[in-house]
Amino acid sequence: MPFDQAPDRRAGDSTKWNRWAGRDVIPLWVADLDFPAPPAVQAALRARVEHGVFGYPDPPPALAGACAAMLARHGAPCAPEWITWLPSLVVGLNLCCRAFAGPGHRVITTTPIYPPFLTAPVNQGAECVRVPMVERAGRWEHDLERLRAELAAGCSCVLLCLPHNPLGRCFGLDELRALAAVLADSQAVIVSDEAWADLVLEPGHRHLPFAVAAPELAARIVTLVSPAKAFNLPGLRLGAAICPDREVGRRLRSAGQGLIELNAFGMHAAVAAWDGGCQPWLEELRAHLRANRDLACARLGRLSRLGVQVPEATALVWIDCRGLGVADPERFFVDAGVGLMPGSWFGAPGFLRMNLGCTTALLDQALGRMERAVLGLT
Ligand SMILES: Cc1ncc(COP(=O)(O)O)c(C=O)c1O
């Protein structure tokens, strides 16, 4: 089992592990995995290092095909000329807000949401309009009425997250069709960040790219994809924006003039990650994350002061801490020895996000600390 053990990441270059360096705090915050990349990815990188020449790189000839193969596994078409390579999806979100919105424009997103969705519009001088997700019958859903009203008030760009970080929702066809019907009434460019596409955990569920669920809107959909989440490659910096419409792609590339430079290692790693050979590794990773998810949700769910929904996708659990009655839930759990990500960063104070990308032994230890802290409250 490759996921029973993890290399020691302390005292290195890990953002996740350096945050509370020198303190006995188990870091379960930023979304990377504690595990090495798949062996085929490591082999591709070793071969590139052994080549020894690190001049200016073009995308390797196999990269577009590997990206298309990944999208085809999710039922989505992808022609090579639709692809704009990016150094990361955070760059992609910012470029989209620059290309399709900018000063004086409104960008709509839903909250809670991965923090760069909230900062990217503002970085580019646009207004970020937040439409809170709603919890209905124990399930987080888009608030279509509110979305419709905000679209009617004017909107240049909508930022969607499928599967959803931090809620872990893998939206079904009916939900996406209803969302598409609301979006059809506007002219906004729709950015669908599908960074977590390969990490659907719930049996019977599958990722549906928005461009597949809403083909009638495909000309104004930009799909963001990346091997970073599923294959644990965020340090190598590679993503892609898929724009079936030539003019949308041109506007995106024009906004990125002089700003987008690519790294050879990220591109070679992506070929190996996406071309199909890593699928058995990915299947094992999903089984591991599913087991961690079930453990975390069962144990946290027994604590009446906390609220959790079982995520269908991602490696994340969104924890409702409003019942704890503490002013700062992040601080409360850090003091107990567990580092989680504050909901305020996602536009939802009172919640925390837990990252399950670690060994089950470490997760078990962290859950024990959390249980003791919560049960110790009077
Ligand atoms: C939805 C989503 N988009 C983008 C990113 C970041 O991607 P990148 O590391 O390529 O900037 C993340 C990271 O967790 C994410 O969850």
The terminus-to-terminus CA distance of the chain in angstroms comes to 41
Distances (CA, A) of 83 to 26, 120, 239: 39, 21, 10
- Token representation of residue 327: 């002013």
Residue 355 carries which DSSP code? E
* Best residue among 165, 207, 232, 316 to mutate for probing ligand 1, ranked by most atoms within 8 Å of CB: 165
What is the C-alpha to C-alpha distance for residues 173 and 208, in angstroms, rounded to an integer? 7
Task: Give residue-wise pLDDT tens across range 328-351.
Answer: 999 999 999 999 999 999 999 999
CATH of domain 43-274: 3.40.640.10
> Which pLDDT band holds residue 2 (cuts at 50, 70, 90)?
confident
Smallest CA separation from ligand 1 atom 14, residue: 31
CATH of domain 15-38+279-375: 3.90.1150.10
0.95 surpassed by pTM = yes
- Token representation of residue 51: 């080549």
Task: Give residue-wise pLDDT tens across range 242-270.
Answer: 999 999 999 999 999 999 999 999 999 99
| Domain assignments of the chain as residue spans, ordered by start | 15-38+279-375, 43-274
The mean pLDDT of the chain is 97
pLDDT at position 276, please? 87
What is the C-alpha to C-alpha distance for residues 132 and 110, in angstroms, rounded to an integer? 5
**What's the gap in Å between 363 CA and the centre of ligand 1?**
22
Which of ligand 1's atoms lies nearest the C-alpha of 32?
A: 14
Task: Give residue-wise pLDDT tens across range 22-76.
Answer: 999 999 999 999 999 999 999 999 999 999 999 999 999 999 999 999 999 999 9
Structural contact between residues 315 and 81, judged by C-beta atoms closer than 8 angstroms? no
What is the C-alpha to C-alpha distance for residues 245 and 116, in angstroms, rounded to an integer? 25
